[in-house]
């Protein structure tokens, strides 16, 4: 069921058909024999990638307090698991 899905090697982020993304074109190869060609994209730079990721990145930048609360909850959960385990 992973047909047509791109999964990031290190991040595990997923792009599916129909997702809207912002990307930078880094290479273009046009074929003389046919009217088709190939192009290479990158989404590694800030504010590139799936639009949901970009919105999250902006939220983290301008509203870090929202994400600090989540980090504190995760840390508390990890500490309680390590004490009990």
Q: What is the pLDDT of residues 33-67, one digit of tens each?
A: 777 888 899 998 989 999 999 999 999 888 888 87
Tens of pLDDT, residue by residue over 9-22, are 888 899 999 999 99
Total domains in the fold of the chain: 1
Structure confidence at residue 21 (pLDDT): 95
Give the confidence band of 2 by pLDDT, cuts at 50, 70, 90.
low
In this prediction, residue 23 has a pLDDT band, given cuts at 50, 70 and 90, of very high
The answer to whether residue 1 is domain-embedded is no
- What's phi and psi for 58, nearest 5 deg? -65, -45
Residue 23, classified by CB atoms within 10 Å of its CB into exposed (0-12), middle (13-18) or buried (19+), is middle
Q: Answer yes or no: is 60 within a domain.
A: yes
Q: Which residue has the tokens 């190939």?
A: 38
Which structural domain range is residue 40 located in? 6-84
Give the CATH number, domain containing residue 36: 2.40.50
């Amino acid at each position: 069921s992973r047909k047509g899905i791109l999964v990031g090697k290190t991040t595990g982020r997923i792009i599916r058909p129909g997702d809207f993304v912002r990307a930078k074109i880094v290479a273009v190869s046009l074929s003389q024999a046919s009217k088709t060609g190939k192009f290479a994209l990158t989404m590694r730079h800030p504010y590139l990638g799936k639009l949901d990721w970009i919105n999250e990145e902006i939220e983290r930048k301008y509203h870090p307090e929202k994400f600090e609360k989540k980090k504190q909850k995760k840390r508390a959960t990890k500490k309680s698991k390590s004490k009990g385990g």
